[in-house]
Amino acid sequence: MSTTPALTSQALLLLGGAVAAAPIFKRLGLGTVLGYLAAGILIGPFLHLISGGEDILGVAELGVVFLLFVIGLELNLGRLWQMRRDIFGLGTAQVLVTGGLLSAIIYEVGLFPWSGSIITGFGLALSSTAFALQILEENGDNNTRYGQRAFSVLLLQDLAIVPLLALIPLVALQKPEDTTPPYQDFAVAIGAVLVLVAAGRYLINPLFQILARTGAREVMIAAALLIVLGAATLMQMAGMSMAMGAFLAGVLLAESSYRHELEADIEPFRGLLLALFFMAVGLSLEIEVLIEHPLLIVLSVPLLMLIKAVVLYSLCRMTGSSHNDAVRIGLLLPQGGEFGFVLFSAAAAAGVMSQTDASILVAVVTLSMALTPAAAMLSRVLMADTAKEDEEIEEDFEGAGADVLMIGFSRFGQIAAQILLAGGREVTVIDHSAARVQQAASFGFRIYFGDGTRSDVLRAAGIERAKIVAICTHQVEMTDKIIDLVQAEFPNARIYARAYDRLHTLSLRARGVDYELRETFESGLLFGRRTLEGLGVSESQAQSIGDDIRRRDEERLALQAVDGITAGRHMLLFKPVKPEPLIKPKREAASTLGPDEEIAAAVARAAGE
């Protein structure tokens, strides 16, 4: 152990703490965030196995940078427009009213000066996205009215962290060595934003088109990291926060065809570094401060949760929510959030508050998060027993993704997408061909570059929010691989699949897909009907014949699923005839079948398509 570098030892301790704490706290219903915090507190302040949590926190803040980038990627204009009333109405009101009220109380009590009161009040106004979404998902309430409104409030709160982080340098005391006038700093910041916007508009997409054609995934990952860290560093050099730079980069790429691939590539780094950030917050926590101020912390936590719950309930009722929905939202979001850790740590580093004060606030937020499951259960007691309060929202609800996730966009998928779009449904399309993505995007399709055989790409593309997953790839092996992945990783997904031929249809049915269709079946039926009409058969009679063929085909498939591909031959429609070749063959072909049987076998082979 003595020969092991200190850095390696610390990394092992942090990884071991994360691996041990996260599943335990997840099983207890407290969430992984509290698990990481507890692991950090145990390793640092209690056992003193690692010191210098502030140094680790500096590196771990990259997790927040990546988180803001992913949030920016999710904020395409279409999604914001669909949720605009709840996001910018209810969400904005919640942040302003709660933040203003808490800031006023903190200032009047004399805990902080006005600058610290504003940062503290608005930091405590933010709720925990990780906790709230976990509770919604576990209860199956993502698609309820109150779940939709709660998500909108959380989304606005995630957006609010950007201006709050930008506010810290403005309220902090200017450093003595900083002799540049404020207007010059502002001009530099605006210039950096313009450079970032220009790069996002004219450089990044062409770069990814070139890289995607190489087919090297590691190059795409490197490019994603380069963009995030480059944007973050640019904004930091301009005097703004790294998180703001990453957020702006994400927003600029929200409409990019490579958005979902980027999100999937960044996700492992984001998750790991964010876990490290929460552990570093625990490492830097001053236990002595908590021991010295137990009464302040114990009184602050219930007061914070009560104020937030009352404000949320009142605002929800004023904006049209029922009593039950308002109660559930109020008691789902009364806690402090993980972004409070970010804000308070940044404020302490900028001198807006002391590290002691930051530790007290981190303790308040942590305890409020721990009490969230109990608050959510309390909502069931306070709800009125009225009918239809818990019904799901309408089928056209589009809270955070498209109705249909289509994988593969060759000719079959393009035609199917036209029907869906004409029916007023949103369709998110991913395809692994960079050339096809570029071509389809030029026609206005909402298509993204991505590998449909990767679960992280499917998750980034919104498979957990899609009502139907349409698998329209043209290779049998690829289709089967995606179906197996979806059924294993997302068992609740409804799968509609493109089948290659009759054998593939039987295979897909055995896999239990919700719907399948042979790629040439309907077009062959239509071609045959039109040919009959060209020979003088009436349109209604040709339609009846086509319907009968479709019915017979379905009955044959049912038999073949039980008895094998050769079953149901008696249901084929054919009239054995003896062909008369134009040139008499020189010798008779050897065959064990008679002429009628040979023709029947040929028809049966053709019918297997």
Joined tokens for residue 549: 């063929």
Domains 9-381 and 404-571 are alike in CATH topology:
no
Residue 231 near residue 241 (C-beta atoms within 8 A): no
CB under 8 Å to 501, separation ≥6 — which residues?
A: 518, 608, 609
> Taking residues 9-29, what's their average pLDDT?
82
SS3 223: helix
Query: How many CB atoms within 10 Å of residue 353?
Result: 23
> Taking residues 109-115, what's their average pLDDT?
85
Residue 277 near residue 64 (C-beta atoms within 8 A): yes
Exposure b/e, 317-332, CB count within 10 A at least 16 = b: beeebbebbbbbbbbb
pLDDT by residue (tens digit) across 47-91? 878 766 566 766 666 777 777 787 777 766 666 676 778 888 999
pLDDT for residue 598 is more than 50 = no
pLDDT by residue (tens digit) across 116-171? 899 999 999 999 876 676 677 666 676 677 887 887 888 788 778 778 877 887 77
The residue extents of the domains of the chain are 9-381, 404-571
**Angle formed by the axes of helices 92-109 and 294-318, to 10°?**
150
d(CA 190, CA 6): 42
Structure confidence at residue 514 (pLDDT): 92
Structure confidence at residue 224 (pLDDT): 80
d(CA 200, CA 227): 9
CA torsion sign for 143, 148, 154, 158 is positive
Structure confidence at residue 370 (pLDDT): 74
β-sheet bridge partners, residue 496? 470, 515
Joined tokens for residue 208: 């990814």
Residue 107 near residue 114 (C-beta atoms within 8 A): yes
Structure confidence at residue 495 (pLDDT): 92
> Taking residues 219-230, what's their average pLDDT?
83
Query: How many CB atoms within 10 Å of residue 177?
Result: 5
Q: Which of 327-336, 436-445, 482-491 has the lowest mean pLDDT?
A: 436-445
pLDDT for residue 352 is more than 80 = yes
CATH of the domain spanning 9-381? 1.20.1530.20
> What integer best gives the mean pLDDT of the chain?
78
CB under 8 Å to 364, separation ≥6 — which residues?
A: 124, 297, 300, 301, 304, 336
pLDDT for residue 581 is more than 50 = no
Joined tokens for residue 200: 């996002």
pLDDT-derived band at 315 (thresholds 50, 70, 90) equals very high
Joined tokens for residue 103: 């800031």
Joined tokens for residue 32: 């992984």
pLDDT for residue 242 is more than 60 = yes
SS3 500: coil
Q: CATH topology for 404-571?
A: Rossmann fold (3.40.50)
The position carrying tokens 């009628």 is 596
CB under 8 Å to 423, separation ≥6 — which residues?
A: none
Residue 479 near residue 412 (C-beta atoms within 8 A): no
d(CA 546, CA 540): 10
Cα angle 308-309-314, degrees, rounded to a multiple of 5: 100
pLDDT by residue (tens digit) across 493-522? 899 999 988 888 888 888 889 999 988 888
Structure confidence at residue 5 (pLDDT): 64
SS3 427: strand
pLDDT for residue 393 is more than 50 = no
pLDDT by residue (tens digit) across 557-576? 888 877 777 776 666 655 54
Structure confidence at residue 371 (pLDDT): 80
Query: What is the full DSSP assignment across 251-298?
Result: HHTTTSTTHHHHHHHHHHHHHHHHHHHHHHHHHT--HHHHHH-HHHHH
CA torsion sign for 294, 345, 57, 127 is positive
Joined tokens for residue 367: 């305890």
Which run of H or E residues covers position 505? helix 502-511
Taking phi first (over 0 means left), then psi (-120 to 50 degrees means alpha), and beta for anything else, what does residue 536 get?
left
Tell me the percentage of the chain whose pLDDT exceeds 90. 11
d(CA 441, CA 431): 11
d(CA 308, CA 287): 27
> Taking residues 586-604, what's their average pLDDT?
45
Higher pLDDT, 153 or 211: 153
